[in-house]
Structure 1
Amino acid sequence: MEWYHQWESEYRTHKEEHELGTEELDECLNCELCHLIVNEPIVFKKFWDALFKFEDAIIIYNDVTIKGLLDLLSMDNSEREDTIHKGKCRDIMDRITESIRYRIQPKIKEKGLRTIILVIVRDCIERNLGNEVFDRLIGNPELIEHKYILEDWDVERRFEKFWQWYRITSKEVGPLRVKMGAMKTFRELLYEEEGIATNEEKVKELMSNMEYENINIENVHEYHRNMILGVLQKNQKIQKVKIVRQVMN
Protein backbone atom coordinates (compact mmCIF):
# COMPACT_ATOMS: atom_id res chain seq x y z
CA MET A 1 0.00 0.00 0.00
CA GLU A 2 1.48 3.27 -1.20
CA TRP A 3 0.42 5.51 1.70
CA TYR A 4 1.24 3.17 4.57
CA HIS A 5 4.45 4.82 5.76
CA GLN A 6 2.97 8.32 5.65
CA TRP A 7 -0.11 7.25 7.60
CA GLU A 8 2.02 5.43 10.16
CA SER A 9 4.27 8.46 10.63
CA GLU A 10 1.29 10.78 11.05
CA TYR A 11 -0.26 8.37 13.55
CA ARG A 12 2.86 8.25 15.71
CA THR A 13 3.15 12.04 15.70
CA HIS A 14 -0.53 12.32 16.58
CA LYS A 15 -0.19 9.86 19.49
CA GLU A 16 2.75 11.87 20.86
CA GLU A 17 0.55 14.97 20.80
CA HIS A 18 -2.08 13.05 22.76
CA GLU A 19 0.52 12.11 25.37
CA LEU A 20 1.68 15.73 25.61
CA GLY A 21 -1.90 16.88 26.15
CA THR A 22 -2.07 19.03 23.04
CA GLU A 23 -5.48 20.71 22.98
CA GLU A 24 -5.93 21.21 19.23
CA LEU A 25 -5.00 18.08 17.32
CA ASP A 26 -4.89 17.60 13.57
CA GLU A 27 -7.35 15.02 12.25
CA CYS A 28 -5.99 11.49 12.30
CA LEU A 29 -8.45 8.99 10.86
CA ASN A 30 -6.69 5.95 12.29
CA CYS A 31 -6.54 7.27 15.86
CA GLU A 32 -8.57 4.98 18.11
CA LEU A 33 -8.70 7.67 20.82
CA CYS A 34 -10.23 10.34 18.61
CA HIS A 35 -12.65 7.92 16.99
CA LEU A 36 -13.90 5.72 19.80
CA ILE A 37 -16.29 2.97 18.74
CA VAL A 38 -19.84 3.91 19.71
CA ASN A 39 -21.71 0.96 18.23
CA GLU A 40 -20.37 -2.12 16.48
CA PRO A 41 -23.06 -3.82 14.36
CA ILE A 42 -22.89 -7.55 13.65
CA VAL A 43 -22.44 -6.89 9.94
CA PHE A 44 -19.12 -5.20 10.64
CA LYS A 45 -17.63 -8.37 12.12
CA LYS A 46 -18.55 -10.20 8.92
CA PHE A 47 -16.86 -7.48 6.91
CA TRP A 48 -13.71 -7.43 9.06
CA ASP A 49 -13.32 -11.20 9.06
CA ALA A 50 -13.66 -11.28 5.27
CA LEU A 51 -11.17 -8.45 4.78
CA PHE A 52 -8.65 -10.22 7.02
CA LYS A 53 -8.74 -13.24 4.70
CA PHE A 54 -7.37 -11.05 1.91
CA GLU A 55 -5.07 -8.77 3.90
CA ASP A 56 -3.79 -10.10 7.21
CA ALA A 57 -1.83 -6.91 7.92
CA ILE A 58 -4.96 -5.22 9.29
CA ILE A 59 -5.05 -5.10 13.10
CA ILE A 60 -7.20 -2.23 14.44
CA TYR A 61 -10.33 -0.40 13.30
CA ASN A 62 -12.30 2.45 14.82
CA ASP A 63 -15.60 4.29 14.49
CA VAL A 64 -14.57 5.82 11.15
CA THR A 65 -14.11 2.32 9.70
CA ILE A 66 -17.52 1.17 10.94
CA LYS A 67 -19.34 4.27 9.72
CA GLY A 68 -17.61 3.95 6.37
CA LEU A 69 -18.91 0.41 5.94
CA LEU A 70 -22.44 1.50 6.84
CA ASP A 71 -22.17 4.36 4.32
CA LEU A 72 -21.19 1.88 1.60
CA LEU A 73 -24.10 -0.39 2.51
CA SER A 74 -26.48 2.56 2.21
CA MET A 75 -25.50 3.02 -1.45
CA ASP A 76 -26.86 1.14 -4.46
CA ASN A 77 -24.24 -1.10 -6.03
CA SER A 78 -24.51 0.77 -9.33
CA GLU A 79 -23.64 4.01 -7.54
CA ARG A 80 -20.71 2.34 -5.80
CA GLU A 81 -19.33 1.05 -9.09
CA ASP A 82 -19.90 4.39 -10.83
CA THR A 83 -17.96 6.32 -8.18
CA ILE A 84 -15.33 3.85 -6.94
CA HIS A 85 -12.57 5.62 -8.87
CA LYS A 86 -13.81 9.16 -8.31
CA GLY A 87 -16.70 10.47 -6.26
CA LYS A 88 -18.73 9.34 -3.26
CA CYS A 89 -17.65 5.70 -3.10
CA ARG A 90 -13.97 6.58 -3.58
CA ASP A 91 -14.16 9.15 -0.78
CA ILE A 92 -15.70 6.61 1.60
CA MET A 93 -13.16 3.96 0.60
CA ASP A 94 -10.29 6.36 1.24
CA ARG A 95 -11.57 7.07 4.75
CA ILE A 96 -11.97 3.35 5.48
CA THR A 97 -8.49 2.37 4.31
CA GLU A 98 -6.87 5.28 6.13
CA SER A 99 -8.80 4.60 9.35
CA ILE A 100 -7.39 1.06 9.63
CA ARG A 101 -4.17 0.37 11.51
CA TYR A 102 -1.80 -2.11 9.87
CA ARG A 103 0.88 -4.15 11.65
CA ILE A 104 3.11 -4.01 8.55
CA GLN A 105 2.85 -2.53 5.08
CA PRO A 106 -0.03 -4.34 3.33
CA LYS A 107 0.76 -6.58 0.38
CA ILE A 108 -2.25 -5.34 -1.59
CA LYS A 109 -2.11 -1.94 -3.27
CA GLU A 110 -4.49 0.75 -2.07
CA LYS A 111 -6.67 0.45 -5.18
CA GLY A 112 -6.66 -3.30 -4.70
CA LEU A 113 -7.95 -2.89 -1.16
CA ARG A 114 -10.74 -0.65 -2.47
CA THR A 115 -11.81 -3.32 -4.95
CA ILE A 116 -11.68 -6.05 -2.31
CA ILE A 117 -13.83 -3.95 0.02
CA LEU A 118 -16.36 -3.40 -2.77
CA VAL A 119 -16.48 -7.14 -3.48
CA ILE A 120 -16.96 -7.94 0.21
CA VAL A 121 -19.80 -5.44 0.57
CA ARG A 122 -21.53 -6.50 -2.64
CA ASP A 123 -20.97 -10.26 -2.71
CA CYS A 124 -20.16 -11.38 0.83
CA ILE A 125 -22.59 -9.17 2.74
CA GLU A 126 -25.41 -8.22 0.37
CA ARG A 127 -25.49 -11.40 -1.71
CA ASN A 128 -24.17 -13.78 0.96
CA LEU A 129 -21.70 -15.35 -1.49
CA GLY A 130 -18.70 -15.42 0.80
CA ASN A 131 -17.48 -18.91 -0.08
CA GLU A 132 -17.71 -18.22 -3.81
CA VAL A 133 -15.78 -14.97 -3.39
CA PHE A 134 -13.02 -16.61 -1.37
CA ASP A 135 -12.70 -19.44 -3.90
CA ARG A 136 -12.50 -16.94 -6.76
CA LEU A 137 -10.11 -14.40 -5.29
CA ILE A 138 -7.93 -15.99 -2.63
CA GLY A 139 -4.86 -17.09 -4.55
CA ASN A 140 -6.07 -15.26 -7.66
CA PRO A 141 -3.04 -14.97 -10.02
CA GLU A 142 -3.86 -11.37 -10.98
CA LEU A 143 -4.17 -10.32 -7.33
CA ILE A 144 -0.89 -12.04 -6.48
CA GLU A 145 1.02 -10.60 -9.44
CA HIS A 146 -0.37 -7.07 -9.62
CA LYS A 147 -1.48 -6.57 -5.97
CA TYR A 148 -4.94 -5.59 -7.18
CA ILE A 149 -7.64 -6.97 -9.45
CA LEU A 150 -9.64 -5.60 -12.33
CA GLU A 151 -13.20 -6.88 -12.19
CA ASP A 152 -14.96 -7.72 -15.45
CA TRP A 153 -17.53 -4.92 -15.08
CA ASP A 154 -14.71 -2.40 -14.58
CA VAL A 155 -12.75 -3.59 -17.61
CA GLU A 156 -15.89 -3.51 -19.77
CA ARG A 157 -16.77 -0.01 -18.62
CA ARG A 158 -13.26 1.27 -19.29
CA PHE A 159 -13.19 -0.41 -22.68
CA GLU A 160 -16.49 1.19 -23.66
CA LYS A 161 -15.09 4.63 -22.81
CA PHE A 162 -11.89 3.82 -24.66
CA TRP A 163 -13.76 2.55 -27.74
CA GLN A 164 -15.89 5.69 -27.93
CA TRP A 165 -12.78 7.83 -27.64
CA TYR A 166 -10.80 5.76 -30.16
CA ARG A 167 -13.50 5.87 -32.82
CA ILE A 168 -13.59 9.67 -32.60
CA THR A 169 -9.82 10.21 -32.61
CA SER A 170 -9.10 7.62 -35.33
CA LYS A 171 -11.64 8.55 -37.98
CA GLU A 172 -8.93 8.30 -40.67
CA VAL A 173 -8.74 4.53 -40.25
CA GLY A 174 -12.40 4.09 -39.39
CA PRO A 175 -12.63 1.62 -36.48
CA LEU A 176 -15.73 -0.49 -37.16
CA ARG A 177 -16.12 -3.24 -34.58
CA VAL A 178 -14.32 -5.30 -31.96
CA LYS A 179 -13.29 -8.92 -32.52
CA MET A 180 -13.01 -11.77 -30.06
CA GLY A 181 -9.95 -11.42 -27.88
CA ALA A 182 -9.89 -7.63 -27.76
CA MET A 183 -11.18 -7.46 -24.20
CA LYS A 184 -8.55 -9.91 -22.94
CA THR A 185 -5.75 -7.90 -24.55
CA PHE A 186 -7.20 -4.64 -23.26
CA ARG A 187 -7.27 -6.08 -19.74
CA GLU A 188 -3.61 -7.10 -20.03
CA LEU A 189 -2.71 -3.60 -21.19
CA LEU A 190 -4.53 -2.01 -18.27
CA TYR A 191 -2.43 -4.05 -15.87
CA GLU A 192 0.75 -2.84 -17.57
CA GLU A 193 -0.15 0.78 -16.72
CA GLU A 194 2.76 3.01 -17.82
CA GLY A 195 4.51 -0.06 -19.22
CA ILE A 196 2.11 0.23 -22.16
CA ALA A 197 4.45 2.84 -23.57
CA THR A 198 7.10 0.22 -24.34
CA ASN A 199 4.86 -2.67 -25.37
CA GLU A 200 4.22 -1.97 -29.04
CA GLU A 201 3.47 -5.61 -29.82
CA LYS A 202 0.68 -5.80 -27.26
CA VAL A 203 -0.88 -2.61 -28.64
CA LYS A 204 -0.66 -4.04 -32.16
CA GLU A 205 -2.35 -7.17 -30.86
CA LEU A 206 -5.22 -5.05 -29.55
CA MET A 207 -5.47 -3.23 -32.87
CA SER A 208 -5.48 -6.52 -34.77
CA ASN A 209 -8.53 -7.52 -32.73
CA MET A 210 -10.47 -4.64 -34.24
CA GLU A 211 -11.92 -4.23 -37.72
CA TYR A 212 -11.14 -1.05 -39.67
CA GLU A 213 -12.23 0.53 -42.92
CA ASN A 214 -8.67 1.50 -43.82
CA ILE A 215 -5.47 0.52 -41.99
CA ASN A 216 -2.14 -1.22 -42.53
CA ILE A 217 -1.34 -2.87 -39.21
CA GLU A 218 2.41 -2.80 -39.98
CA ASN A 219 2.43 0.99 -40.34
CA VAL A 220 0.73 2.17 -37.19
CA HIS A 221 3.12 4.64 -35.54
CA GLU A 222 0.63 7.48 -35.19
CA TYR A 223 -2.30 5.27 -34.29
CA HIS A 224 -0.12 3.28 -31.92
CA ARG A 225 0.58 6.48 -30.01
CA ASN A 226 -3.12 7.40 -29.98
CA MET A 227 -4.00 3.94 -28.77
CA ILE A 228 -1.49 4.16 -25.92
CA LEU A 229 -2.70 7.58 -24.82
CA GLY A 230 -6.28 6.35 -24.87
CA VAL A 231 -5.57 3.26 -22.80
CA LEU A 232 -3.58 5.28 -20.29
CA GLN A 233 -6.37 7.81 -19.94
CA LYS A 234 -9.02 5.16 -19.47
CA ASN A 235 -6.79 3.54 -16.87
CA GLN A 236 -6.61 6.89 -15.08
CA LYS A 237 -2.93 7.35 -15.87
CA ILE A 238 -3.14 10.70 -17.63
CA GLN A 239 -0.11 11.90 -15.67
CA LYS A 240 2.01 9.41 -17.65
CA VAL A 241 1.37 11.08 -21.02
CA LYS A 242 4.79 12.78 -20.99
CA ILE A 243 6.49 9.40 -20.64
CA VAL A 244 4.53 8.03 -23.57
CA ARG A 245 5.42 10.97 -25.78
CA GLN A 246 9.10 10.63 -24.93
CA VAL A 247 9.05 6.97 -25.89
CA MET A 248 7.03 7.42 -29.06
CA ASN A 249 8.79 10.49 -30.48
Structure 2
Amino acid sequence: MSDIYEVLETIKERHEREKHEEGKEESQIDPSCPICYKVKEGSEPEWFKEFWKIFRKVILATMNYNKNTIRKLEEYIVLTRKDKDDKYILNRKKRKRVKELEKVNRKGEELLDVIVVSIKYRDEPNYKKIGIISVIKMICEHYIFDKEDNLLVEEKKIEGILGNEELLKYKYIIEDDELDRRFVVLEEWLEKEKIVIIEFITQHTMRYFKEILHMEKSILNEENRDTVKNFQKNIKYQWWDKNKYPEPWVNDDLTDKIIGKIVETKGFVEEYSDES
Protein backbone atom coordinates (compact mmCIF):
# COMPACT_ATOMS: atom_id res chain seq x y z
CA MET A 1 0.00 0.00 0.00
CA SER A 2 2.87 2.30 -0.89
CA ASP A 3 0.36 4.67 -2.48
CA ILE A 4 -1.21 5.72 0.85
CA TYR A 5 0.83 4.04 3.60
CA GLU A 6 2.84 7.13 4.54
CA VAL A 7 -0.31 9.27 4.63
CA LEU A 8 -1.99 6.80 7.01
CA GLU A 9 1.05 6.77 9.27
CA THR A 10 0.97 10.57 9.44
CA ILE A 11 -2.74 10.53 10.31
CA LYS A 12 -2.16 7.92 13.01
CA GLU A 13 0.67 9.88 14.63
CA ARG A 14 -1.24 13.16 14.55
CA HIS A 15 -4.38 11.55 15.99
CA GLU A 16 -2.47 9.90 18.82
CA ARG A 17 -0.77 13.15 19.72
CA GLU A 18 -3.82 15.42 19.51
CA LYS A 19 -6.46 13.05 20.89
CA HIS A 20 -4.71 10.81 23.38
CA GLU A 21 -1.68 12.84 24.48
CA GLU A 22 -2.83 16.45 24.33
CA GLY A 23 -6.55 15.74 24.83
CA LYS A 24 -7.78 18.25 22.27
CA GLU A 25 -11.54 18.45 21.77
CA GLU A 26 -11.09 18.75 18.02
CA SER A 27 -8.45 16.36 16.80
CA GLN A 28 -7.40 14.38 13.75
CA ILE A 29 -9.69 11.37 13.20
CA ASP A 30 -7.97 8.02 12.74
CA PRO A 31 -10.30 5.20 11.59
CA SER A 32 -7.68 2.64 12.66
CA CYS A 33 -7.43 3.80 16.28
CA PRO A 34 -7.80 0.77 18.61
CA ILE A 35 -8.80 3.02 21.51
CA CYS A 36 -11.53 5.05 19.81
CA TYR A 37 -12.94 1.97 18.10
CA LYS A 38 -12.11 -0.68 20.66
CA VAL A 39 -13.34 -4.22 20.14
CA LYS A 40 -14.34 -6.12 23.27
CA GLU A 41 -12.15 -9.20 23.51
CA GLY A 42 -13.95 -12.31 22.32
CA SER A 43 -16.87 -10.37 20.84
CA GLU A 44 -15.86 -10.84 17.21
CA PRO A 45 -18.47 -12.78 15.21
CA GLU A 46 -17.40 -16.10 13.71
CA TRP A 47 -17.81 -14.89 10.14
CA PHE A 48 -15.31 -12.10 10.81
CA LYS A 49 -12.78 -14.49 12.33
CA GLU A 50 -12.84 -16.46 9.09
CA PHE A 51 -12.38 -13.27 7.08
CA TRP A 52 -9.43 -12.18 9.20
CA LYS A 53 -7.74 -15.57 8.99
CA ILE A 54 -7.67 -15.46 5.18
CA PHE A 55 -6.97 -11.74 4.92
CA ARG A 56 -3.82 -12.04 7.04
CA LYS A 57 -2.51 -14.84 4.84
CA VAL A 58 -2.66 -12.56 1.80
CA ILE A 59 -1.86 -9.14 3.27
CA LEU A 60 1.21 -10.12 5.26
CA ALA A 61 1.78 -6.76 6.97
CA THR A 62 -1.63 -6.83 8.64
CA MET A 63 -1.44 -6.23 12.39
CA ASN A 64 -4.91 -5.67 13.88
CA TYR A 65 -8.45 -4.43 13.32
CA ASN A 66 -11.06 -2.49 15.27
CA LYS A 67 -14.81 -1.98 15.54
CA ASN A 68 -14.77 0.09 12.35
CA THR A 69 -13.38 -2.86 10.41
CA ILE A 70 -16.07 -5.28 11.58
CA ARG A 71 -19.02 -2.90 11.22
CA LYS A 72 -18.11 -1.57 7.79
CA LEU A 73 -17.25 -5.03 6.51
CA GLU A 74 -20.64 -6.34 7.56
CA GLU A 75 -22.32 -3.34 5.90
CA TYR A 76 -20.41 -4.06 2.71
CA ILE A 77 -21.35 -7.75 2.67
CA VAL A 78 -25.03 -6.95 3.24
CA LEU A 79 -24.96 -4.17 0.63
CA THR A 80 -23.43 -6.33 -2.08
CA ARG A 81 -25.24 -9.57 -1.32
CA LYS A 82 -26.50 -11.37 -4.41
CA ASP A 83 -29.19 -13.92 -5.02
CA LYS A 84 -27.84 -17.41 -5.62
CA ASP A 85 -28.86 -17.22 -9.29
CA ASP A 86 -27.33 -13.78 -9.88
CA LYS A 87 -24.57 -14.79 -12.27
CA TYR A 88 -22.41 -13.11 -14.88
CA ILE A 89 -24.62 -12.75 -17.96
CA LEU A 90 -23.58 -11.35 -21.31
CA ASN A 91 -26.68 -10.05 -23.07
CA ARG A 92 -28.38 -6.87 -24.13
CA LYS A 93 -29.63 -6.24 -20.60
CA LYS A 94 -26.04 -5.51 -19.59
CA ARG A 95 -26.44 -1.73 -19.70
CA LYS A 96 -29.54 -1.75 -17.51
CA ARG A 97 -27.87 -4.04 -14.99
CA VAL A 98 -24.74 -1.87 -14.87
CA LYS A 99 -26.76 1.30 -14.31
CA GLU A 100 -28.70 -0.35 -11.48
CA LEU A 101 -25.46 -1.36 -9.78
CA GLU A 102 -23.80 2.06 -9.97
CA LYS A 103 -25.32 3.39 -6.74
CA VAL A 104 -24.50 0.16 -4.88
CA ASN A 105 -20.94 0.20 -6.21
CA ARG A 106 -20.41 3.80 -5.15
CA LYS A 107 -21.58 3.11 -1.61
CA GLY A 108 -19.54 -0.08 -1.57
CA GLU A 109 -16.36 1.78 -2.52
CA GLU A 110 -16.94 4.23 0.33
CA LEU A 111 -17.24 1.36 2.80
CA LEU A 112 -14.15 -0.34 1.40
CA ASP A 113 -12.15 2.86 1.82
CA VAL A 114 -13.00 2.90 5.53
CA ILE A 115 -12.25 -0.81 5.92
CA VAL A 116 -8.79 -0.45 4.37
CA VAL A 117 -7.78 2.50 6.56
CA SER A 118 -9.33 0.99 9.70
CA ILE A 119 -6.77 -1.82 9.63
CA LYS A 120 -3.37 -1.35 11.24
CA TYR A 121 -0.29 -2.50 9.33
CA ARG A 122 3.02 -3.27 11.01
CA ASP A 123 4.87 -1.99 7.96
CA GLU A 124 4.19 -1.18 4.32
CA PRO A 125 1.85 -3.87 2.90
CA ASN A 126 2.78 -6.05 -0.06
CA TYR A 127 -0.24 -4.74 -1.98
CA LYS A 128 -1.36 -1.25 -2.95
CA LYS A 129 -4.75 0.00 -1.82
CA ILE A 130 -6.46 -1.32 -4.95
CA GLY A 131 -4.99 -4.77 -4.25
CA ILE A 132 -6.13 -4.79 -0.63
CA ILE A 133 -9.62 -3.83 -1.77
CA SER A 134 -9.54 -6.66 -4.30
CA VAL A 135 -8.67 -9.15 -1.56
CA ILE A 136 -11.53 -7.89 0.62
CA LYS A 137 -13.98 -8.17 -2.27
CA MET A 138 -12.84 -11.68 -3.14
CA ILE A 139 -13.26 -12.89 0.41
CA CYS A 140 -16.68 -11.26 0.71
CA GLU A 141 -17.90 -13.06 -2.41
CA HIS A 142 -17.83 -16.29 -0.41
CA TYR A 143 -20.24 -15.14 2.28
CA ILE A 144 -23.80 -16.41 2.18
CA PHE A 145 -26.94 -15.89 4.25
CA ASP A 146 -28.94 -18.75 5.74
CA LYS A 147 -32.74 -18.79 6.02
CA GLU A 148 -32.57 -16.70 9.19
CA ASP A 149 -30.28 -14.18 7.47
CA ASN A 150 -27.28 -15.23 9.52
CA LEU A 151 -23.95 -14.61 7.85
CA LEU A 152 -21.98 -17.74 6.93
CA VAL A 153 -18.79 -18.34 4.99
CA GLU A 154 -18.01 -21.03 2.43
CA GLU A 155 -14.74 -22.12 4.06
CA LYS A 156 -13.53 -24.52 1.37
CA LYS A 157 -14.00 -22.01 -1.45
CA ILE A 158 -12.51 -19.07 0.41
CA GLU A 159 -9.10 -20.76 0.62
CA GLY A 160 -8.93 -20.60 -3.19
CA ILE A 161 -8.25 -16.87 -2.97
CA LEU A 162 -4.66 -17.62 -2.01
CA GLY A 163 -4.01 -19.09 -5.45
CA ASN A 164 -5.98 -16.65 -7.59
CA GLU A 165 -3.90 -16.18 -10.74
CA GLU A 166 -5.17 -12.70 -11.55
CA LEU A 167 -4.43 -11.44 -8.05
CA LEU A 168 -0.97 -13.00 -8.01
CA LYS A 169 -0.07 -11.64 -11.45
CA TYR A 170 -1.47 -8.11 -11.29
CA LYS A 171 -1.76 -7.58 -7.51
CA TYR A 172 -5.44 -6.68 -7.94
CA ILE A 173 -8.48 -8.02 -9.75
CA ILE A 174 -11.21 -6.55 -11.93
CA GLU A 175 -14.49 -8.09 -10.79
CA ASP A 176 -17.16 -9.14 -13.29
CA ASP A 177 -19.52 -6.30 -12.38
CA GLU A 178 -16.72 -3.75 -12.71
CA LEU A 179 -15.63 -5.28 -16.01
CA ASP A 180 -19.22 -4.97 -17.25
CA ARG A 181 -19.35 -1.33 -16.19
CA ARG A 182 -16.15 -0.45 -18.00
CA PHE A 183 -17.25 -2.25 -21.15
CA VAL A 184 -20.52 -0.32 -21.18
CA VAL A 185 -18.54 2.93 -20.98
CA LEU A 186 -16.51 1.86 -24.01
CA GLU A 187 -19.62 0.72 -25.86
CA GLU A 188 -21.47 3.97 -25.22
CA TRP A 189 -18.45 6.01 -26.32
CA LEU A 190 -18.18 4.07 -29.59
CA GLU A 191 -21.86 4.75 -30.30
CA LYS A 192 -21.73 8.41 -29.28
CA GLU A 193 -18.77 9.03 -31.58
CA LYS A 194 -20.63 7.21 -34.37
CA ILE A 195 -17.75 4.77 -34.79
CA VAL A 196 -19.52 1.42 -34.36
CA ILE A 197 -22.56 -0.12 -32.70
CA ILE A 198 -21.93 -3.44 -30.98
CA GLU A 199 -24.51 -6.18 -31.49
CA PHE A 200 -23.21 -8.74 -29.01
CA ILE A 201 -20.10 -10.04 -27.29
CA THR A 202 -18.87 -13.32 -25.82
CA GLN A 203 -16.86 -14.53 -22.86
CA HIS A 204 -13.79 -14.38 -25.11
CA THR A 205 -14.47 -10.70 -25.76
CA MET A 206 -14.51 -9.95 -22.06
CA ARG A 207 -11.42 -12.05 -21.43
CA TYR A 208 -9.45 -9.99 -23.94
CA PHE A 209 -11.01 -6.79 -22.59
CA LYS A 210 -9.84 -7.58 -19.07
CA GLU A 211 -6.38 -8.39 -20.38
CA ILE A 212 -6.00 -5.06 -22.17
CA LEU A 213 -7.30 -3.15 -19.13
CA HIS A 214 -4.65 -4.79 -16.98
CA MET A 215 -1.99 -3.61 -19.44
CA GLU A 216 -2.57 -0.02 -18.32
CA LYS A 217 -0.01 2.25 -20.07
CA SER A 218 1.86 -0.71 -21.53
CA ILE A 219 -1.04 -1.10 -23.96
CA LEU A 220 0.90 1.43 -26.06
CA ASN A 221 3.70 -1.10 -26.57
CA GLU A 222 3.67 -2.64 -30.02
CA GLU A 223 3.83 -6.19 -28.67
CA ASN A 224 0.46 -5.69 -26.95
CA ARG A 225 -1.33 -4.53 -30.07
CA ASP A 226 -2.31 -8.07 -31.09
CA THR A 227 -4.33 -8.48 -27.90
CA VAL A 228 -6.37 -5.39 -28.77
CA LYS A 229 -6.85 -6.78 -32.27
CA ASN A 230 -8.11 -10.05 -30.80
CA PHE A 231 -10.55 -8.05 -28.70
CA GLN A 232 -11.89 -6.38 -31.86
CA LYS A 233 -12.23 -9.70 -33.66
CA ASN A 234 -14.35 -11.13 -30.86
CA ILE A 235 -17.05 -8.49 -31.18
CA LYS A 236 -20.13 -8.83 -33.39
CA TYR A 237 -20.87 -5.44 -34.95
CA GLN A 238 -24.36 -4.22 -35.79
CA TRP A 239 -23.29 -1.03 -37.60
CA TRP A 240 -20.09 0.84 -38.37
CA ASP A 241 -18.87 3.91 -40.22
CA LYS A 242 -17.95 2.29 -43.54
CA ASN A 243 -16.00 5.34 -44.68
CA LYS A 244 -13.74 5.70 -41.64
CA TYR A 245 -13.75 2.21 -40.16
CA PRO A 246 -14.41 -0.45 -42.81
CA GLU A 247 -14.23 -3.99 -41.44
CA PRO A 248 -13.97 -2.88 -37.79
CA TRP A 249 -12.97 -6.36 -36.64
CA VAL A 250 -9.55 -5.84 -38.29
CA ASN A 251 -9.41 -2.07 -38.74
CA ASP A 252 -6.09 -0.55 -37.58
CA ASP A 253 -7.56 2.93 -37.10
CA LEU A 254 -10.16 1.50 -34.74
CA THR A 255 -7.38 -0.27 -32.86
CA ASP A 256 -5.66 3.08 -32.40
CA LYS A 257 -8.91 4.69 -31.21
CA ILE A 258 -9.52 1.98 -28.62
CA ILE A 259 -5.95 2.13 -27.34
CA GLY A 260 -6.08 5.92 -27.14
CA LYS A 261 -9.36 5.91 -25.21
CA ILE A 262 -8.14 3.32 -22.72
CA VAL A 263 -5.00 5.35 -22.03
CA GLU A 264 -6.95 8.62 -21.81
CA THR A 265 -9.48 7.24 -19.31
CA LYS A 266 -6.98 5.06 -17.42
CA GLY A 267 -8.98 2.00 -18.35
CA PHE A 268 -12.37 3.61 -17.69
CA VAL A 269 -11.71 3.84 -13.95
CA GLU A 270 -14.33 5.90 -12.13
CA GLU A 271 -13.33 8.75 -9.85
CA TYR A 272 -14.47 6.98 -6.70
CA SER A 273 -12.29 3.96 -7.53
CA ASP A 274 -8.84 4.85 -6.20
CA GLU A 275 -6.67 2.64 -8.37
CA SER A 276 -3.49 4.63 -8.35
TM-score range, shorter chain: 0.7 to 0.9
TM-score if structure 1 supplies the norm length? Answer: 0.78
Q: Which residue of 2 aligns with 1:130?
A: 155
TM-score if structure 2 supplies the norm length? Answer: 0.71
Greater Cα offset, 92-101 or 116-125: 116-125
Question: Deviation at 1:106?
Answer: 1.5
Q: Which residue of 2 aligns with 1:26?
A: 28
Unaligned runs of 5+ in 2: 84-97, 146-151, 272-276
**Distance in 2 separating the partners of 1:237 and 1:72:** 20
Q: Which residue of 2 aligns with 1:142?
A: 166
Q: Higher helix share goes to which structure?
A: 1
The answer to which structure, 1 or 2, has the higher relative contact order (CA under 8 A, 6+ apart) is: 2
Letter in 2 for 1:73: I
Contact 2:77 2:143 in 1 (8 A): no
- Counting aligned pairs with the same residue, the percent is 28
Q: Which residue of 1 aligns with 2:121?
A: 102
Q: Which residue of 2 aligns with 1:59?
A: 63
**1:196 and 2:219 matched:** yes
**Distance in 1 separating the partners of 2:105 and 2:217:** 20
**Distance in 2 separating the partners of 1:40 and 1:139:** 27
Question: Deviation at 1:85?
Answer: 8.9
Question: Which of the residues 235, 239, 243 maps onto 1:210?
Answer: 235
**RMSD, matched Cα:** 3.1
Question: Which of the residues 247, 252, 255 maps onto 1:220?
Answer: 252
Q: 1:162-209 CA distances to partner (integer Å, 9 max, x unpaired)?
A: 2343244344x5554446632221111111123334443332232232
Q: Which residue of 2 aligns with 1:12?
A: 13
**Distance in 2 separating the partners of 1:170 and 1:197:** 24
Q: Which residue of 1 aligns with 2:209?
A: 186
Unaligned runs of 5+ in 1: 240-249
Q: For residues 180 and 28 of structure 1, do their structure 2 counterparts lie closer, same or farther at Cα, with a shift above 3 Å needed? A: closer
Q: 1:86-116 CA distances to partner (integer Å, 9 max, x unpaired)?
A: 5211111100100100112222232222232
Divergent runs of 4+, >6 A:
none
Contact 1:203 1:224 in 2 (8 A): yes
Contact 2:228 2:255 in 1 (8 A): yes
Question: Deviation at 1:144?
Answer: 1.7
Q: 1:60-83 CA distances to partner (integer Å, 9 max, x unpaired)?
A: 11111111122123324259x935
